[in-house]
Chain A
Amino acid sequence: MQLKLNNFTKTFGEVTVIDGMDLTVNDGEMMALLGPSGCGKSTTLFTICGIHRMNGGDLHFGDRDVTHLPSQQRNVGVVFQNYALYPHMDIRDNIAFPLKVQKQDSATIKRKVNEIAELVHIPELLDRKPAQLSGGQQQRVALARALVRQPDVLLLDEPLANLDAKLRLEMRSEIRRIQLETGITAILVTHDQVEAMSMCDRIALMRDGKIEQLSEPSEMYNNPANTFVAGFLGNPPISFVNAQVAGGSFTFGDNTVAIAEALKPRVGGEVQLGIRPEHFGPQFGTGVTGKISFVETQGREDLYNVTLNSGGMIRSIQPAGERLKMGDAVSWGVSPEAVLAFDTSGDRL
């Protein structure tokens, strides 16, 4: 079911946390709400499920206007960051709770609980108490409880934040699998770009209560709308340098980088260049000189920080091989097609 937020505004007292946000999540789509901590992701999520009331704007699930409906009547499933399982109920009762409060008959409840337990792979845990489960298992229970009454939308608030690295990887694919199997419309709130990029169809990247860019993960990575988006996505992160446009090249200090043909009409004067680590290295020729100031080996790849002779620093990531040392002087090139140019206020050129 499509979810549509229109001109949504949320204030807490004097503070406006969300200001006129528009967001449409298509039917069956998994949307990431990505952004740094405190940017208003949870607030948005809690407003969609009715825990917070909107101060302005409206919200539709499909054709249904749910702006003024209380949580109980919205038919949303929510997975909370701490799972919020009911500690005094066993797992079966936890999952059955949304059906029980609807007073469905016990045979139906039993059947649905068993079905959903199969889906999230926890049929053997039904008789335990939440305290007897590991984090990942609790996560699955929370998912089952959110999904058991077939909600119109599924909302996940930082579902992986409390898991250790291995479980996080496992649950990442599990959540996506379950979302795809059920075909449910979902919003995933996360501050982790890898989660957003790997799990979701589209990403809404938020800053200070506004959506900076909304697009598919690869599009957002390759075509960031501004320096904030460019800087938020990618690990190791993109490097920025200030440069001048002179004679068909970007120059900064004694370094030059060629300007791609397509970019030439749009640039001039002062610009900010965004160079991703995979686009800077010896395989792209020469023209940028500096000293290695940091080396990190990541197994398959090596990560270098190159401090430029003219000041500033550019990161580079290269297949493991010829190992350079700290202090080695290098003269490497930048892939002209991959250079991202921004104006001085940070907007993409």
Chain B
Amino acid sequence: MPRTSKPRFNWLGLGFMAPALIVVALFFLAPVIMTGLFAFTNMSTSTGITGGEYLLTQSNLRALENSGVSDETFETLSTTSYRVDEAGLARLAEQHNQATADEFRTLHGDTVFTARRDMERALKDLNQNRIRSTRDRKAAAELFTSSVLDERFVEETDFRAALANAGINDADHEILVTEAFTGWVWTTENVELLTSLSSSARYAMNTAIYVIFTLAFNVGFGLLLAISTFYLSPRVASSFRTIWFLPRVLPPVLYVLMWYWLTWDTGIISTFAGYFGFAPRNWMLDTATNAWVVIILINGFVGASLGMILFSSAIKAIPSSMLYASEVDGANRWQQVRYIILPQLRWPILFTSSYQTLSLLTSFEYILLATDGGPGGTTEVWALAAYHTALNNYGGNLQYGLGAAYALVLVIIGIITSLLYLRFFNFRELVSKPRIEN
């Protein structure tokens, strides 16, 4: 008798699933979430990924031009002032003696000198403890500088106090604090930058070229291999397939190295072409076209082997009687391929295309190893741009935040297309439910 028990929560099942769930959380969810978070920060090498300090520099001031900060503030910030405060007096006591410091306090305690000349005169005009040498006076004056500029403050309150001390208008504090902060902050700048940079459009264009042509090569060549090996004797076919599988099992560095040997100006192609009087050239990096052809071939041969395996097994799954039937019906090889085999490979082809579109969108390792985006950025695809921005920048300032924003675009495209594919392929399953004979 069939038992109709309610589905119960099964702890044992959860136990078995746990490792998989942890892996999913750790290696899939966490990176996605972190990418999403990083994308909305201005993290970079200079901000670090932990906290920050407050440091106002000349370049900050330049950045603040036209930002509404008052001219007085600029004036105050860019001129050095001298404040006779306890800290300065302590330094003076140390450098000279306590008496000098005490006298200076009595005469000028809490005075602010805005000109070095006035400060030095005040030091010179001490009654008992006159500092005679000009050099000593200059040094002593330095002890009282109270510029906010080029001064590091660990705490925001200190920085604000310094601003107030320097006599800077309260209205300008906020903007200065923001500008002076050296740590990372939340921002939507990256997204704005992405949409406004002309290089983004070019990366997108490059990615489209890369994905479309590589995919076409993958699928086309995979199909060609699968179909041609199908008609070979099994032993020849399997050795053929093994050969074409090599690019996939070879370590990428080694595989790309072989392409170097092939394409370098002292490489195989150049040497061979040399016999026919062609000047040697770098067939990988000479022109943008060269670079694209090489990149599409490098990736294409790797991808084609996957297509070949998938398509081969799909062809083998076609009942042999169906192929016999087509031959008996008079179809030649070409007609058999065209009318019987290809139509039945429709779903494997669609599946491979969708799957490889996704992986090509995010893959850049072969481009990185081969052209590194060159020549002159012509083969810089989106994923490679993300890598370069975030992890390997010539300038040395790695822009994690901007890089994450690049990556986030890929993540979003990836998730949307995956969901579409899932629906699409499930739908296919639904419509092909086996029918009951009547």
Task: Report yes or no: A84 in contact with B324, Cβ–Cβ below 8 A.
Answer: yes
B-contacting 9-mer, from A8-16, A68-76, A116-124, A302-310? A68-76
Question: Is A285 interfacial (CB 8 A cutoff)?
Answer: no
Min CB distance A135 to B, Å, is 6
Question: Is A145 interfacial (CB 8 A cutoff)?
Answer: yes
Task: Report yes or no: B328 in contact with A78, Cβ–Cβ below 8 A.
Answer: yes
B interface secondary structure, majority = helix
What is the chain B residue whose CB lies nearest that of A131?
B435
Min CB distance A34 to B, Å, is 21
What is the chain A residue whose CB lies nearest that of B325?
A84
What is the chain A residue whose CB lies nearest that of B324?
A51
Given the interface contacts A71-B327, A101-B331, does A134 sit within 8 Å of B319 by beta carbon? no
Given the interface contacts A72-B331, A87-B344, A98-B329, does A134 sit within 8 Å of B437 by beta carbon? yes
Min CB distance B224 to A, Å, is 21
What is the chain A residue whose CB lies nearest that of B329?
A98
Min CB distance B437 to A, Å, is 5
Q: How far is the CA of A42 from the CA of B340 in the complex (A)?
A: 23
Q: Per-residue CB proximity of A74-89 to B under 8 Å, as 1/0? A: 1011101110111111
Q: Per-residue CB proximity of A35-50 to B under 8 Å, as 1/0? A: 0000000000010011
Within 8 A of B (CB), among A77-132: 77-78, 80-82, 84-89, 97-98, 100-102, 131-132
Give the one of B328, B331, B339, B344 with max A CB within 10 A.
B328
Q: What residues of chain A lie closer than 8 Å to B335, measured between beta carbons?
A: 101
Given the interface contacts A81-B321, A82-B321, A88-B344, does A97 sit within 8 Å of B329 by beta carbon? yes
Q: What residues of chain B lie closer than 8 Å to A131, measured between beta carbons?
A: 435
Q: Per-residue CB proximity of B306-339 to A under 8 Å, as 1/0? A: 0000000000000101101111111110010001
Q: What residues of chain B lie closer than 8 Å to A134, measured between beta carbons?
A: 437-438
Min CB distance A105 to B, Å, is 16
Task: Report yes or no: B327 in contact with A72, Cβ–Cβ below 8 A.
Answer: yes
Q: How far is the CA of A136 from the CA of B393 in the complex (A)?
A: 70
Question: Is A202 interfacial (CB 8 A cutoff)?
Answer: no
Within 8 A of B (CB), among A302-331: none
Min CB distance A88 to B, Å, is 4
In-complex Cβ contact of A149 among B319, B325, B330, B332 (8 A): B330
Task: Report yes or no: A72 in contact with B324, Cβ–Cβ below 8 A.
Answer: no
Given the interface contacts A72-B331, A82-B319, A149-B330, does A46 sit within 8 Å of B435 by beta carbon? no
Task: Report yes or no: A86 in contact with B327, Cβ–Cβ below 8 A.
Answer: no
Task: Report yes or no: A76 in contact with B328, Cβ–Cβ below 8 A.
Answer: yes
Min CB distance A39 to B, Å, is 20
Q: How many residues of B contact A (CB 8 A)?
A: 21
Q: How far is the CA of A38 from the CA of B325 in the complex (A)?
A: 21
Q: What residues of chain B lie closer than 8 Å to A49, measured between beta carbons?
A: 324, 328
What is the chain A residue whose CB lies nearest that of B332?
A72
Task: Report yes or no: B339 in contact with A101, Cβ–Cβ below 8 A.
Answer: yes
Q: How far is the CA of A145 from the CA of B438 in the complex (A)?
A: 22
Task: Report yes or no: A46 in contact with B324, Cβ–Cβ below 8 A.
Answer: yes
Question: Is B2 interfacial (CB 8 A cutoff)?
Answer: no
Q: What residues of chain A lie closer than 8 Å to B332, measured between beta carbons?
A: 72, 101
Q: What residues of chain B lie closer than 8 Å to A51, measured between beta carbons?
A: 324, 327-328
Question: Is B395 interfacial (CB 8 A cutoff)?
Answer: no
Question: Is B343 interfacial (CB 8 A cutoff)?
Answer: yes
Give the one of B330, B331, B437 with max A CB within 10 A.
B330
Min CB distance A69 to B, Å, is 12
Q: What residues of chain A lie closer than 8 Å to B437, measured between beta carbons?
A: 134-135
Q: How far is the CA of A100 from the CA of B340 in the complex (A)?
A: 13
Min CB distance A319 to B, Å, is 37
Task: Report yes or no: B322 in contact with A132, Cβ–Cβ below 8 A.
Answer: no
Within 8 A of B (CB), among A52-71: 70-71
Task: Report yes or no: B326 in contact with A97, Cβ–Cβ below 8 A.
Answer: yes
Min CB distance B341 to A, Å, is 11
Q: What residues of chain B lie closer than 8 Å to A88, measured between beta carbons?
A: 343-344, 346
What is the chain A residue whose CB lies nearest that of B342?
A88
Q: Per-residue CB proximity of B417-438 to A under 8 Å, as 1/0? A: 0000000000000000001011
Task: Report yes or no: B330 in contact with A98, Cβ–Cβ below 8 A.
Answer: yes
Q: Per-residue CB proximity of A178-194 to B under 8 Å, as 1/0? A: 00000000000000000
In-complex Cβ contact of A77 among B326, B327, B328 (8 A): B328
What is the chain B residue whose CB lies nearest that of A81?
B321
In-complex Cβ contact of B330 among A72, A87, A89 (8 A): A72
What is the chain A residue whose CB lies nearest that of B340?
A86
What is the chain B residue whose CB lies nearest that of A145?
B329
Q: What residues of chain B lie closer than 8 Å to A50, measured between beta carbons?
A: 327-328
Q: What residues of chain A lie closer than 8 Å to B435, measured between beta carbons?
A: 131-132
Q: What residues of chain A lie closer than 8 Å to B327, measured between beta carbons?
A: 50-51, 70-72
Q: What residues of chain B lie closer than 8 Å to A84, measured between beta carbons?
A: 319, 321-322, 324-325
Min CB distance B346 to A, Å, is 8
Min CB distance B389 to A, Å, is 47
Q: How far is the CA of A85 from the CA of B340 in the complex (A)?
A: 10
Min CB distance B345 to A, Å, is 10
Min CB distance A138 to B, Å, is 9
Q: What residues of chain B lie closer than 8 Å to A101, measured between beta carbons?
A: 329-332, 335, 339
What is the chain A residue whose CB lies nearest that of B344?
A88
Task: Report yes or no: B330 in contact with A102, Cβ–Cβ below 8 A.
Answer: yes
Q: What residues of chain B lie closer than 8 Å to A81, measured between beta carbons?
A: 321
Q: What residues of chain A lie closer than 8 Å to B321, measured between beta carbons?
A: 80-82, 84
Q: How far is the CA of A71 from the CA of B327 in the complex (A)?
A: 6
Min CB distance B234 to A, Å, is 13
Given the interface contacts A86-B340, A132-B435, A134-B437, does A71 sit within 8 Å of B319 by beta carbon? no
Within 8 A of A (CB), among B53-71: none
Q: How far is the CA of A285 from the CA of B343 in the complex (A)?
A: 70
Give the one of B321, B344, B346 with max A CB within 10 A.
B321
What is the chain B residue whose CB lies nearest that of A88?
B343
Q: How far is the CA of A254 from the CA of B332 in the complex (A)?
A: 69
Q: How far is the CA of A71 from the CA of B319 in the complex (A)?
A: 18
Q: What residues of chain B lie closer than 8 Å to A145, measured between beta carbons?
A: 325, 329
Q: What residues of chain A lie closer than 8 Å to B346, measured between beta carbons?
A: 88
Q: What residues of chain A lie closer than 8 Å to B330, measured between beta carbons?
A: 71-72, 98, 101-102, 149
Q: How far is the CA of A87 from the CA of B347 in the complex (A)?
A: 13
Min CB distance B164 to A, Å, is 81
Q: How far is the CA of A86 from the CA of B339 in the complex (A)?
A: 9
Q: What residues of chain A lie closer than 8 Å to B339, measured between beta carbons?
A: 86, 97, 100-101
Min CB distance B222 to A, Å, is 20
Q: How far is the CA of A71 from the CA of B335 in the complex (A)?
A: 14
Q: How far is the CA of A149 from the CA of B437 in the complex (A)?
A: 29
Q: What residues of chain B lie closer than 8 Å to A70, measured between beta carbons?
A: 327
Q: How far is the CA of A101 from the CA of B329 in the complex (A)?
A: 8
Q: Per-residue CB proximity of B342-366 to A under 8 Å, as 1/0? A: 0110100000000000000000000
Q: How far is the CA of A225 from the CA of B171 in the complex (A)?
A: 120
5 A-B residue pairings within 8 Å (CB atoms): A51-B324, A86-B326, A98-B329, A101-B330, A145-B325
Question: Which 3 A-B pairs give the minimum distances between C-beta atoms?
Answer: A84-B325, A98-B329, A84-B321
Apart from the given pairs A74-B328, A78-B325, A101-B329, 12 other A-B contacts in the complex at a CB distance below 8 Å: A50-B327, A71-B327, A71-B328, A72-B330, A80-B321, A80-B324, A84-B319, A86-B325, A97-B329, A97-B331, A135-B437, A145-B329
